Structure 1
């Protein structure tokens, strides 16, 4: 079984609920987090960051 997960490797669960214009509550097999979008950048409460780039590309990194 994968570390910090309720599901075996290869099987994932994810659910998003939108709150407001640019905020979401995310539920996954490893827990609950919040995320917010500011322009082309999305931050989540676990330190994840996604930047939407031209041409359909996305950069994923850490903000903390």
Structure 2
């Protein structure tokens, strides 16, 4: 049986656990999300994207040579 969850739901659940257990404030989480959006518009975005894709490939063991 395969269960498919939207990635946004998993991120929201992770954010809720982090705020709940690490006692972060919601404004801190919101500012980190906003920082992520601002980083996506910088020259570092391709490097972040490439690193993220490589990390997912390593975890999923789907690297191609």
Which interval holds the TM-score relative to the shorter structure? under 0.3
TM-score by length of 1: 0.24
Higher strand share: 1
Query: Based on CA coordinates, which of the two structures has the bigger radius of gyration?
Result: 2
More helix by share: 2
What TM-score results when the alignment is normalised by the length of structure 2? 0.23
